[in-house]
């Protein structure tokens, strides 16, 4: 036994250490991606079932169960992409965003022009919608594009103004239930459909806030949700929702445009 252990460690070199570190980082990254999602519970369940079956096979010598465990990797090759499709998509998008930043390593240090007009107009629109208790959802597009959601709406291509956004979200307008996508200083489309999150723990949150959380789970966007019931302004980032004041909202938008200049975008919806 000791001879086997010493023999194993004698073959341990730099390449083995690098190999272990890479595998460890891959598993750690996968766990971070699924943490706090439905996939987290599914993964825990699979691990528990696997351990129970392995122990039962070892104790009672279950031939069929042993065969099933031995061939389970082939089943997982098909099942994992299906079960964890949203998480795998989010992980690949994070890799894509990282590679985009690596292509422009000095962009974070460069002085980028702020779209102060767009920021002021969005904050003004959110404040007015809050005062009048008109529901709305404002999403700022990051590195991940929102073109697939633009296609689900009606093309507009107009200048970003508070008056335009408030008029769209009037309860009597035909597009007030959809989302407005803004790219740069232009309103690209209205009446667009945003994805809803299934990982909402607060049952009191409605469709608007679930959409705010959902789009920030799938992309690096930042969303501003205005409640129709209370008029409260909330901001969603990375799947997390928190209440903000108009002043705090302006600070968030300024920081966002600095990170994503020169081609930021905004999506607005209900």
Q: What is the DSSP string of the chain?
A: -HHHHHHHHHT--HHHHHHHHHHHHHHHHHHHHHTTSHHHHHHHHHHHHHHHHHHHHHHH--HHHHHHHHHHHHHHHHHHHHHTHHHHHHHHHHHHHHHHHHHSTTTTTS-----HHHHHHHHHHHHHHHHHT--EEEEEE-SS--HHHHTTSEEEEEE--HHHHHHHTSTTSTTTTSEEEEETTEEEEEEE-PPPPS----TT--HHHHHHHHHHHHSS-EEEEE-TTT--EEEEETTEEEE--HHHHHHHHHHHHHHHTTS-EEEEE-
Task: Give the separation between CA 262 and CA 122, rounded to whole angstroms.
Answer: 17
Task: Give the separation between CA 268 and CA 4, rounded to whole angstroms.
Answer: 64
The closest of 81, 152, 118 to 254, measured between CA atoms, is 118
Which tokens in the block code for residue 134? 């008109």
Query: Tens digit of pLDDT per residue, the chain (270 long)?
Result: 555 655 655 666 778 788 888 888 877 877 776 665 556 667 777 788 888 888 888 888 888 888 888 887 777 777 777 766 766 666 666 666 565 555 555 444 443 344 678 889 999 999 999 999 999 988 888 777 788 888 888 899 888 899 999 999 998 888 888 888 877 777 888 888 899 988 777 777 889 899 989 988 888 888 889 999 999 999 988 888 999 999 999 999 888 877 765 444 445 454
Q: Residue 178's CB: how many other CB atoms inside 10 A?
A: 24
Domains of the chain: 2-103 (no CATH), 116-269 (3.40.1700.10)
Locus of tokens 């959110």: 126
**pLDDT at position 34, please?**
63
190, 152 Cβ separation under 8 angstroms = no
**pLDDT at position 44, please?**
77
Tell me the residue length of the chain: 270
HSE of 84 in the Cβ direction (CA atoms, 13 Å)?
24
| Residue 178 backbone dihedrals phi, psi, to 5 degrees | -100, -170
170, 252 Cβ separation under 8 angstroms = no
200, 210 Cβ separation under 8 angstroms = yes
């Amino acid at each position: 036994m000791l001879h086997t252990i010493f023999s194993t460690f004698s073959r341990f070199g730099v390449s083995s250490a690098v190999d272990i570190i890479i595998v460890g980082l891959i598993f750690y990254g996968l766990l971070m991606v699924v943490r706090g999602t439905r996939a987290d519970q599914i993964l825990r369940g699979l691990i528990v079932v696997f351990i129970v079956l392995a122990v039962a096979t070892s104790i009672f010598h279950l031939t069929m169960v042993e065969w099933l465990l031995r061939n389970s990797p082939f089943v997982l090759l098909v099942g994992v992409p299906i079960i964890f499709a949203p998480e795998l998509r989010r992980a690949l998008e994070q890799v894509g965003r990282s590679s985009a930043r690596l292509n422009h390593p000095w962009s974070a240090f460069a002085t980028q022009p702020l779209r102060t007009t767009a920021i002021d107009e969005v904050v003004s629109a959110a404040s007015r919608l809050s005062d009048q208790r008109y529901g709305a959802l404002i999403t700022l597009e990051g590195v991940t594009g929102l073109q697939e959601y633009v296609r689900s709406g009606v093309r507009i291509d107009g200048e970003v103004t508070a008056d335009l956004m408030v008029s769209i979200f009037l309860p009597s307008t035909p597009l007030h239930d959809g989302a407005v996508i803004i790219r740069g200083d232009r309103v690209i489309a209205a009446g667009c459909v945003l994805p809803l999150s299934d990982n909402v723990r607060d049952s009191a949150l409605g469709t608007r806030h679930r959409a705010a959380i959902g789009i920030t789970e799938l992309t690096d966007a930042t969303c501003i949700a205005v409640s129709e019931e209370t008029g409260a302004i909330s901001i969603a980032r990375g799947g997390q929702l928190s209440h903000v004041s108009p002043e705090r909202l302006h600070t968030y938008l300024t920081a966002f445009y600095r990170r994503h200049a020169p081609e930021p975008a905004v999506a607005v919806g209900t």
